[in-house]
């Protein structure tokens, strides 16, 4: 008594194909399946294929999944898709997954614990064969739980403490180290840091990079030069930079823990009439689409977004194939991209002051969204 949509005949099933081809459904199934095709006679295969084509038959993935136990879907958990770092990552994931017959199922958490639980519940309910997570916190029991229930979990961008889950990310500390070197090379000595949330590996690692960068440059750490942002958002960056300026210590450069924060810093500087890079240099992290188009074009640390996605896809597929294999943590090398937001500090502005070769590539066009995009990293 299945009420089919009134319009037209119902979708053809495997039985229909079998009937037309004059064979048993099981035979039709085998004929259509690349893996089992060689068990059935070539002529029969042809007949079945013809019938399938004639009927415009499309196997029902749901039924297949139910039987095989594989849904062919991979959950992708993001803070917020409208944050510009994620689309390229998601594209990478999709492009890596689709050839293997999988499709991504995306869920946004808006950095809300509760919403994340709901998203994960939803994904598990839909029997995803694996989950790629961009919202991992350093301590994240639920993810470990899911993983130990047998569902492959792969982290992107962020890792969890202990590295017990496969992951694709960049070495945050070394990225920031390069930034400190760059700034010190330009002559900066009072370098501030708008740090990201410390419960995220990115915020934590970049702060660590900042400290060791200062140390190896022989600069000492002034607590007044560090503020902690509560999220990776432009608003938090604005607040952070404002606070730094309020403390009124001399300060010639700000390293923001990511591009969003950096944009907030730029806005804060402009708000009090300071010019970047003339008065204060600003550096971000991520090389999000479009930060090369804002003014001043942002000096930042480039992270290969798309490749992060494709690698994550590969990792999750590997893990599906062999759930007991070794846990791989893949670290891609970040790369400093010097643009126009960094320059020698005010005191040192003389002719030919050192400027590292700028690595301008990729010019892309993008634009901002309608929702608050928080918490990129």
Contact residues: DNA, CB under 7 A = 1-2, 10-11, 13-15, 22-27, 29-30, 32-33, 35-36, 39-44, 57, 59-60, 63-64, 66-69
Q: Name, in order, each residue with C-beta under 8 angstroms of 345's C-beta and a sequence gap of 6 or more.
A: 186, 187, 188, 189, 190, 252, 253, 281
Nearer Cβ to a copy of itself (105/348): 105
Residues between 255 and 284 with contacts to a copy of itself, criterion CB under 8 A: 259-260, 263-264, 267
Identify the sign of the CA torsion 304, 306, 312, 317.
Answer: negative
> With contact defined as beta carbons under 8 Å apart, do 168 and 324 qualify?
no
The one of DNA, a copy of itself, none whose footprint includes residue 34, by CB under 5 to 8 A per kind, is: none
Question: Considering the complex, what minimum distance in angstroms separates the CB of residue 233 from a copy of itself?
Answer: 8
Residue 316, both tokens = 């999750």
Region of residue 163 (phi > 0: left; psi between -120 and 50: alpha; otherwise: beta): left
Nearer Cβ to a copy of itself (90/173): 90
> With contact defined as beta carbons under 8 Å apart, do 194 and 261 qualify?
yes
Write down the residue that tokens 């937001």 correspond to: 341
Residues between 293 and 312 with contacts to a copy of itself, criterion CB under 8 A: 293-295, 304-307
CA distance 254 to 160: 27
The one of a copy of itself, DNA, none whose footprint includes residue 223, by CB under 5 to 8 A per kind, is: none
Q: Does 375 bind a copy of itself (CB under 8 A)?
A: no
Nearer Cβ to DNA (61/174): 61
Q: Does 223 bind a copy of itself (CB under 8 A)?
A: no
The one of DNA, a copy of itself, none whose footprint includes residue 54, by CB under 5 to 8 A per kind, is: none
Burial 298-313 (b: 16+ CB within 10 A, else e): bbbbbbbbbbbbbbbb
The one of DNA, a copy of itself, none whose footprint includes residue 32, by CB under 5 to 8 A per kind, is: DNA
Measured at the CA of 136, the angle between CA 130 and CA 137, to 5 degrees, comes to 155
CA distance 239 to 313: 36
Q: Name, in order, each residue with C-beta under 8 angstroms of 217's C-beta and a sequence gap of 6 or more.
A: 180, 181, 184
The one of DNA, a copy of itself, none whose footprint includes residue 324, by CB under 5 to 8 A per kind, is: a copy of itself
> With contact defined as beta carbons under 8 Å apart, do 212 and 177 qualify?
yes
Q: Does 362 bind a copy of itself (CB under 8 A)?
A: yes
Q: Does 341 bind a copy of itself (CB under 8 A)?
A: no
The one of a copy of itself, DNA, none whose footprint includes residue 305, by CB under 5 to 8 A per kind, is: a copy of itself
Nearer Cβ to a copy of itself (271/347): 271
Write down the residue that tokens 């998203």 correspond to: 119
Nearer Cβ to a copy of itself (179/225): 179
> With contact defined as beta carbons under 8 Å apart, do 203 and 344 qualify?
no
Residues between 230 and 249 with contacts to a copy of itself, criterion CB under 8 A: 233-234
CA distance 204 to 220: 19
Question: Considering the complex, what minimum distance in angstroms separates the CB of residue 30 from DNA?
Answer: 5
The one of a copy of itself, DNA, none whose footprint includes residue 113, by CB under 5 to 8 A per kind, is: none
SS3 347: helix
Question: Considering the complex, what minimum distance in angstroms separates the CB of residue 294 from a copy of itself?
Answer: 5
Q: Does 59 bind a copy of itself (CB under 8 A)?
A: yes
């Amino acid at each position: 008594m299945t009420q089919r949509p009134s319009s037209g005949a119902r979708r053809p099933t495997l039985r229909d194909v079998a009937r037309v081809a004059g064979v048993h459904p099981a035979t039709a199934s085998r004929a259509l399946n690349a893996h089992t095709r060689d068990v059935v006679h070539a002529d029969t295969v042809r007949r079945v294929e013809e019938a399938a084509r004639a009927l415009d038959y499309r196997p029902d993935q749901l039924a297949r999944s139910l039987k095989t136990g594989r849904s062919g879907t991979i959950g992708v958990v993001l803070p917020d898709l409208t944050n510009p770092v994620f689309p390229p990552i998601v594209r990478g994931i999709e492009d890596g997954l689709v050839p293997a017959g999988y499709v991504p199922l995306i869920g946004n958490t808006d950095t809300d614990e509760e919403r994340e639980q709901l998203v994960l519940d939803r994904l598990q309910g839909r029997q995803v064969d694996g989950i790629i997570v961009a919202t991992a916190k350093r301590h994240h029991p639920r993810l470990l739980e899911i993983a130990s229930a047998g569902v492959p979990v792969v982290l992107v961008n962020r890792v969890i403490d202990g590295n017990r889950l496969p992951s694709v990310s960049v070495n945050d500390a070394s990225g920031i180290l390069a930034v400190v070197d760059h700034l010190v090379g330009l002559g900066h000595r009072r370098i501030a840091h708008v740090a990201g949330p410390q419960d995220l590996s990115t915020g934590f690692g970049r702060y660590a990079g900042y400290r060791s960068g200062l140390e190896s440059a022989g600069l000492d750490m002034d607590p007044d030069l560090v503020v902690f942002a509560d999220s990776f958002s432009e608003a938090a960056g604005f607040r952070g930079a404002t606070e730094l300026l309020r403390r009124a210590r001399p300060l010639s450069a700000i390293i923001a823990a990511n591009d969003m924060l950096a944009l907030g810093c730029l806005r804060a500087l402009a708000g009090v009439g300071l010019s970047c890079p003339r008065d204060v240099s600003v550096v971000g992290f991520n090389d999000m689409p479009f930060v090369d188009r804002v003014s001043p074009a942002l000096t930042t640390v480039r992270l290969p977004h798309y490749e992060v996605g494709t690698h994550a896809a590969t990792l999750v597929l590997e893990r599906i194939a062999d759930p007991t294999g070794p846990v791989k943590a893949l670290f891609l090398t970040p790369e400093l991209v010097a643009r126009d937001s960094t320059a020698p500090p005010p005191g040192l502005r003389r002719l030919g002051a050192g400027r590292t070769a700028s690595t301008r590539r990729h010019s892309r066009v993008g634009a901002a969204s309608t929702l608050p995009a928080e918490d990129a990293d």
